[in-house]
Structure formats: C-alpha cells, structure tokens
C-alpha cells in the first residue's frame, strides 16, 4: 500500500493544477487519498485526465527548447555576446552555439517527460480495468493517453535517440531515475508508431475536440503520425512511409474541421482560443498559468531606451511592459529573412531601433507573437502554446507530396496567400514562382521558418528533412554529427547507472 500511495502522491499535486472549468470533485481529504478510494468515480478519472494535460503544460518550455533553440533563430548578433539591451544570455548560448556538454546539457532529466509518461501509463492501466466511465469516455481517454505518450517518446527519440522504455506504471515518479538501460532507437520508434495506432484505434470515428482543443484528440494523433512517418521516410522509409504520412494528414484535413484563420496574428490572440486553425494547444489562462517565455523578452526598463520605427515612437512602460529577462535573444538576421510584405514578419517579431537625429539604426529584435493580455497594468503572458495547427498540417502534407514526387503548390500557396494578405500576387509569390521554389524542400523549410517562429519547430524541421540541412543552416559541421543529438546531463547519469552518455560526448 505504501508504494501505491507514493504513486498517487503526484496525482494529488496534479489535481491542484486542474482548471476552473473542471467539475466539482468528490474526493476524500488529501491526507486519506490512496488506492482504496481513488479511481472509484467518473469525476476522479476526469480529474486525472485534466491532470495529465496540466502536467503536459509544465513541459511546454522544454518542447520549445528541444524544438528550436539549437537552430538558426535565437542567438546573439555578430560581434556581441549579449542581447541588444545588454542582458546576459546566462550560459544559454551553449544551445544555439551547439557547445553542449555533460555539465551544460541544455535540457536535463530528459525534459522531465518521464513524470507524465508514468502518469499516462497509470491512466492506461486503470482505464483498461475500470467500469466507472462511459464506453465513449474510456476510448476517448485511451486515445489521449496513447497519443500523448507517443508524443513524449517522440520528443525523447528526436533529442536523445535511445530512450528508457517503460509502459507499465511504477511507484517511482520519475522513470528516468530507474536502474534501467535505454532501448535502441529502432525499439523506440516502434513503440511510438504502435502507440499512435492504439490511439487512433481507440478514437475510432470520433474526431470531436474537447476542452476547446485543449485536450489531445484524434486529429492530434494523426498530426503526430504524419510527423513521425515523414521522419522515417527521410531515414530509409522512402515513399512507403511518405504515403502513410500523406494519408494520415489528409484524414485530419478531411475530418478534423479545421481551416486557416484569415489573419495570421489572430491565431495567437487570447480572445481567440481554440480557433478554426488550432488542432491541439496547451492552455494558459489568467490566474492559472502563463506561457513560460519571459526569458525570450527584454526587461521593460531597458527596452524603453529604444524606438519602434514603424510607429515612430519610443517604447514606454505602459504599452511595452514585457517584463522579461532576455536570456534567449533573437538574431536580427532572423527578422531580415522575411519579405517585408509578409504579415508574419510584423506579427511575429518586434524590431527595435536607436534614433540618432532623424535616422533609425537597427539595435535588435525580440519575439512579439505572444502578446498576452493586460491585467491591472501588468502584461500577463496567457497565450496558448499551440502544438499543432492547420498551417502545420498543410506544410507537412506539402512535404509528403514532395517525397512522393507530387506538386506541393496547393498547400504552400494557401499558406503564402494568408501570409501576404492583400499584398499577395500569384504571379510573383505563388509556388513555383519564387526563386527558392526551384528546390521544393527549401521552399517548404522557408515557409515553416516564417510561419512557426517560437513554436518549437525549426530544429526538428531541419533534423527531419535530413542532416545536410542542419549542417547548412546551423553552426554544426558535417564532422560533428554526434551533435545532432543532445547529451545526457550528469545528474541523470548519476541517478541511473545503467544509462550511457549519448555517443560522441565525453563519457560520464
């Protein structure tokens, strides 16, 4: 019983994170909650499902780190080792400089993902034996559990290659500390694909969204399937895997009831949550949880020394109260890679200038995609973090078509037309009329670069397309192939003696 209570200890902490929309729970006092009086009502199961999504939200920053920070978006500009406001990068430059090590691993403890993997294992175990939930909820929740577990393992697989495979609940909250060796990459990708199929089987013909798209859904599992099979298509799976990816993505497109928002900026507005473009998002709400991007934003008292050239104004405390600490600066070159007619440029990035006389000189930039909301004179970063959306589906589908020797024009042009808005001219802007379109993969990579700034996509896009793209766009060289994966941190290797350091990095 002691071990079972230990396992449920995390359940209680998760219940405390549940959003205000959750139904009143019929729970015993915290001091007496245990295996004997949990999993006894449908409300308790509902609460647990809310809990795994709340814990998923705590990992958003790690998804962002793993998906973007080693690519060609963040970093200091040439000749500097700090942000334009003078704020230190506090050692985080090791990620975009790709100088990670045992003691500066960038992301430790496998992102902390195993805490929720263990909870998902418990949820699967209980759902397969419980009779307190309706058949419809049981299969929907199993769809969530298998799909989300596959997502976590895919995060680990793309970052570290090998992974500790654990599919049964344990009384140890963090599986990464178990005395258990990591399994080969082939076994990990097999688990991921098997879990995706279990998720889709349980969802059956149910494509409905729950919690305003804040819950994992069948469409989310189909998006993950497309992503995974495109990855393996580029690693020996060829046209067969690309075809599977295409079918999955068309399924989500046909049955997922999604469409592009007319305005790019409106996708992320706090007043437009769960909009038509969203497939799955991690929810952030005022007085509940904020998006953990403060370290991607400058301090207000430093920002007010600079100017907005478009608005012809100096930044001020009232309007520009970003309130960050700029540990993860964005490069000016990121801003300059956009066409000025592309609305994504201005909706995603805020340029900052020095003013000398009547002349504006670029000083730096920072992300402006997530504006949050003003609350009592304070900016609250309450934007949802979107994991999957329709533009992502379109560009993944375009990628599958290229791998199959088909034209990606329809999908690319939908994304471009929305991006350019009234300034869009098919004669010059439509695929295949831009110079970059001579190489369709490069065209897709460029669209994804402009579309998904600070959505944790770029590094994974380069990795998925192939190692040569990493060597081309980042500072990793072809003779440093081991850097394509992340090192395991010292603490994790200390806690689990059966783990081995990622090949190429100094051994523990």
DSSP characters over 432-459: TSSGGGGSHHHHHHHHHHHH-TTTT-HH
Please list, residue by residue across 101-111, b when 16 or more beta carbons sit within 10 angstroms of its beta carbon and e when fewer do. ebebbbbbbbb
Is the residue at 346 inside a domain? no
d(CA 7, CA 13): 11
* E strand spans, 227-330: 278-282, 307-308, 313-314
Is the residue at 198 inside a domain? yes
Is the residue at 459 inside a domain? no
- Three-class SS state of 370: coil
Which tokens is 278 given?
């969203």
List beta partners, residue 407: none
Burial (CB count <10 Å: 0-12, 13-18, 19+), residue 311: exposed
Is the residue at 148 inside a domain? yes
What is the reported pLDDT for 457?
98
CATH of the domain at 34: 1.25.40.390
Number of H helices, E strands in the chain: 19, 8
What is the pairing mode between strands 385-389 and 278-282? antiparallel
Is the residue at 255 inside a domain? no
Low-confidence ranges of the chain (pLDDT < 50): 1-9, 11-33
Range of the domain at 113: 2-68+108-206+488-495
**Residue 300: enclosing H or E segment and its boundaries?**
helix 300-303
Distance, C-alpha 124 to centroid of its chain: 24
Burial (CB count <10 Å: 0-12, 13-18, 19+), residue 183: middle
pLDDT tens for residues 353-372?
Answer: 999 999 999 999 999 999 99
Residue that the structure tokens 């799909």 belong to: 147
Determine contact, residues 243/226, Cβ cutoff 8 Å.
no
What is the reported pLDDT for 508?
83
CB atoms within 10 A of CB 81: 9
Q: How many independent structural domains does the chain possess?
A: 1
Nearest to 137 by CA among 23, 255, 5, 6: 23
What is the reported pLDDT for 175?
83
What is the reported pLDDT for 22?
39
Is the residue at 195 inside a domain? yes
What is the reported pLDDT for 481?
98
Is the residue at 127 inside a domain? yes
What is the reported pLDDT for 174?
79
List beta partners, residue 356: 359
**Residue 349: enclosing H or E segment and its boundaries?**
strand 349-356
Determine contact, residues 426/433, Cβ cutoff 8 Å.
yes
Determine contact, residues 325/299, Cβ cutoff 8 Å.
yes
CB atoms within 10 A of CB 472: 15
Is the residue at 7 inside a domain? yes
- Three-class SS state of 263: coil
């Amino acid at each position: 019983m002691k071990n079972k209570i230990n396992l449920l200890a995390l359940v209680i902490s998760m219940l405390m994170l549940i959003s205000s929309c959750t139904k009143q729970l019929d729970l015993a006092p915290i001091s007496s909650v245990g295996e004997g009086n949990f999993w006894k009502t449908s409300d308790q199961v509902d609460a647990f499902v809310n809990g795994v999504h709340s814990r998923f939200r705590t990992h958003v920053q790690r998804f962002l780190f793993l998906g973007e920070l080693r690519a060609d978006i963040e970093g200091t500009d040439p000749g500097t080792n700090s942000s334009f406001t003078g704020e230190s990068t506090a050692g985080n430059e090791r990620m975009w400089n790709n100088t990670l090590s045992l003691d500066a691993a960038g992301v430790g403890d496998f992102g902390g993902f195993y805490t929720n993997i263990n909870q998902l294992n418990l949820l699967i175990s209980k759902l397969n034996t419980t009779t307190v939930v309706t058949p419809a909820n049981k299969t929907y929740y199993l769809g969530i559990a298998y799909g989300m577990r596959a997502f976590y393992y895919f995060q680990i697989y793309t970052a570290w290659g090998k992974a500790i495979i654990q599919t049964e609940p344990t009384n140890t909250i963090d599986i990464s500390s178990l005395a258990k060796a990591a399994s080969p990459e082939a076994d990990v990708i097999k688990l991921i694909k098997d879990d995706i199929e279990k998720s889709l089987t349980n969802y059956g013909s149910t494509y409905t969204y729950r919690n305003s798209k804040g819950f994992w859904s069948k469409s989310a599992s189909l998006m993950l399937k497309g992503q995974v099979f495109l990855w393996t298509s580029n690693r020996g799976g060829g046209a067969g895997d690309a075809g599977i990816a295409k079918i999955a993505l068309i399924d989500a497109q046909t049955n997922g009831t999604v469409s592009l928002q007319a305005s790019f900026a409106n996708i992320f507005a706090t007043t437009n949550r769960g909009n038509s473009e969203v497939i799955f998002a991690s929810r952030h709400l005022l007085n509940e949880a904020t998006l953990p991007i403060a370290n991607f934003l400058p301090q207000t008292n430093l920002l007010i020394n600079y100017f907005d050239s478009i608005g012809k104004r100096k930044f001020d405390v009232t309007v520009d109260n970003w309130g960050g600490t700029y540990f993860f600066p964005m490069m000016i070159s990121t801003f300059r890679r956009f066409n000025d007619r592309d609305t994504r440029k201005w909706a995603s990035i805020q340029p900052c200038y020095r003013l000398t006389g009547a002349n504006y000189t670029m000083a730096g930039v920072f992300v402006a995609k997530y504006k949050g909301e003003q609350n009592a004179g304070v900016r609250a970063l309450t934007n949802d973090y979107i994991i999957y959306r329709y533009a992502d589906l379109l560009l993944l589908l375009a990628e599958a078509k290229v791998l199959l020797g088909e034209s990606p024009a329809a999908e690319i042009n939908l994304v471009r037309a929305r991006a350019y808005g009234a300034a869009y001219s098919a004669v010059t802007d439509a695929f295949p009329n831009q110079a970059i379109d001579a190489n369709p993969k490069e065209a897709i990579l460029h669209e994804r670069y402009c579309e998904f700034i600070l959505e944790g996509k770029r590094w994974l896009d380069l990795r998925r397309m192939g190692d040569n793209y990493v060597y081309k766009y980042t500072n990793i060289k072809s003779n440093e192939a081991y850097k394509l994966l992340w090192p395991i941190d010292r603490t994790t290797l200390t806690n689990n003696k059966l783990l081995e350091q990622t090949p190429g990095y100094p051994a523990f």
